[in-house]
Amino acid sequence: MKIELVFIPSPGVGHIRSTTALAKLLVDSDDRLSVTLIVIPSQFSKDASSSVYTESEDRLRYCLLPANRDQSTQQDFISYILSQKPHVRAAVSELVREVSTRSGSPRFAGIVMDMFCTSMMDIADDLNLPAYIFYTSNASYLGLQFHVQTLYEEKKLDVSELKDDSDVKFDVPTLTRPFPANSLPSMMLDKEWFPYIVRRAKSMRGTKGVLVNSVAEMEPQAVKFFSDGNGNTPPVYTVGPILDFKTNGDGEDEKRREILCWLEEQPPSSVVFLCFGSMGGFGEEQTREIAVALERSGHRFLWSLRRAYPVKSMTGSRPGEFTNLEEVLPEGFLKRTSGIGKIISWAPQVAVLESPAVGGFVTHCGWNSILESLWFGVPTAAWPIYAEQQFNAFQMVEELGLAADIRKEYRRDSLIPKPEIVSAEEIERGINCAMEQDSEIRKRVIDVRDKLHVALLDGGSSNAALRKFVQDVIENIPS
């Protein structure tokens, strides 16, 4: 029986890339499957594609929604997703009609929507189609979302009331140790946004299943919680690591070659790589602290340096470049480090982490970045910025012992009036810990690297979870 799934990824680059990689993995694993991705245009660009994935392949197609040139970039992300709902509904309806007319009697099997697109759930309901979630973060954080919803609805704890009580810790069933409130995402600590968190968790509970970009062996506590059927949750499939190794950064080939050529000239495991994701940047004072830490550490470095967006305009601005590094960095820094360091803006992150020269990675703890570093066996130093990155940092540092700590509870987002400055001493300590060659962290990272590679092989845990998902999809097809 031929079956068709439609995927609705969030327009964020990391989400589109990982969703595309999952779709390719699915169609490659089962020749009965075809997938169509409905690509929502970027909020920050007039380019409708939002990604480099525009060429349809055999059994993998793209439906690019038209860009709204009048769309305000100042609109918050959740409202922007809602504004795209009529376009998504029309595209799915047309796809259902088109599939029904194909020869060979294929069956439309359901909609797989991104964790940030749960507001699209009623599209599936209206068309009498099963709904699934692709959860681009980890299983432990999924458990936290379900848990805070339960605590709130049972009137046991409203975590948004913990904003000013940073010493509080509480148990989370997908973690083995108490979780500190100061590592909760800002949206959970905000009275205005917390109801959205609760609604999203409630919506996910109503789906037929959740595909999670993680590996069973990496999160045994979370896997046990979900497999035991606790908490009235849908089936959870740990199908990761879902990684996309396609060259990122259209038109950046020359810069990419320059960066990789520089890395080829460096000794093995000698370079610390600093990169903070598509929204990660810092102000002048914080940038100087990083520079001081790098110089004191004595390590070779590759630094993706970008100027921070104004905090109050996070929804409308992306990090930019400093126009004059000499004015921002400590006097003489560029000259003194010219033989051991390289400052860049854009970074081909996957290719850099794959380089034998890279021995450590200072990261914002985005889940894709964490998985990429683990895939290549590169220890990290945790410096979260926004979203669920504080949770990821806690998990990597405290729960799993896979990362050094710079400041795991740090945050810089639109809900924080004035972020604190992380000192050069903290940064240097984290860098040195991540770069230590015979450390326990490095040994654990290598062990997890091997487990991630095995999980995707035939008979591996993620491969088995993917097959189980396809089996359940077929069983859930409406009669």
Q: Cis peptide before 106, with omega less than 30 degrees from 0?
A: no
* Dihedral sign for Cα atoms in the order 149, 155, 157, 160: positive
CA distance 276 to 108: 39
Closest CA to 322 of 312, 249, 333, 427: 333
Regarding beta strands 271-275 and 300-304, do their DSSP bridges make them parallel or antiparallel, or are they unpaired?
parallel
**DSSP letter at 126?**
H
Contacts of 479 by beta carbon, 8 Å cutoff, 6+ apart: none
Structural tokens at position 360: 């450590």
Structural tokens at position 220: 């045994």
Amino acid at 382: A
CA distance 304 to 274: 6
**DSSP letter at 320?**
B
Tell me, yes or no, if 190 is annotated catalytic: no
CA distance 86 to 66: 12
Structural tokens at position 7: 């995927």
CA distance 455 to 459: 8
Q: Which of 15, 147, 299, 364 is catalytic?
A: 15
CA distance 96 to 320: 42
Q: Which of 28, 30, 114, 167 is catalytic?
A: 114
Structural tokens at position 402: 């896979």
Structural tokens at position 320: 């930019």
Q: What are phi and psi of 127, to 5 degrees?
A: -95, 5
Contacts of 279 by beta carbon, 8 Å cutoff, 6+ apart: 309, 314, 318, 319, 385, 386
**DSSP letter at 403?**
E
Laid out side by side, the sheet with 271-275 consists of 341-344, 300-304, 271-275, 358-363, 380-382, 403-405
DSSP string, 233-296: ---EEE-------SPPSTT-HHHHHHHHHHHHTSPTT-EEEEE--TT--B-HHHHHHHHHHHHH
CA distance 382 to 160: 24
Answer whether 243's CB lies under 8 Å from 20's CB. no
Tell me, yes or no, if 87 is annotated catalytic: no
Instruction: Indicate which residues carry an active-site annotation.
Output: 15, 114
